[in-house]
Amino acid sequence: MPPVSNIYHQAPSCWDRVKQGFMIGFCVGMASGVIFGGYSVIRYGLRGKEMIRNLGKAVLQGSGTFGTFMAIGSGIRC
């Protein structure tokens, strides 16, 4: 039988939950930015430097926006 430990696990703090919500939202926003940004790049027929610039902008806007809203939602639930 293993020895009994007096260490108790604590629930994550509110700040940890907000950070986790932001990171989850950031990842989901990146995925949606790639999908929707890729569609618009293909639709407009962009190639080369313009394609990378527009796709990067869509990914950053989507990930930042969705991450912010997820962080706010996680903060409200604390």
pTM for the model stands at: 0.78
Count of helices and strands (H, E) across the chain:
2, 0
In this prediction, residue 2 has a pLDDT band, given cuts at 50, 70 and 90, of low
Tell me the domain boundaries of the chain. 14-77
| pLDDT tens, residue by residue, 3-24 | 666 666 788 888 999 999 999 9
d(C-alpha 63, C-alpha 57), whole Å: 10
Residue in the block written with tokens 């569609």:
39
What are all long-range contacts of 42-51, with beta carbons under 8 Å and residues at least 24 apart?
none
Note whether 59 and 37 are within 8 A (CB).
yes
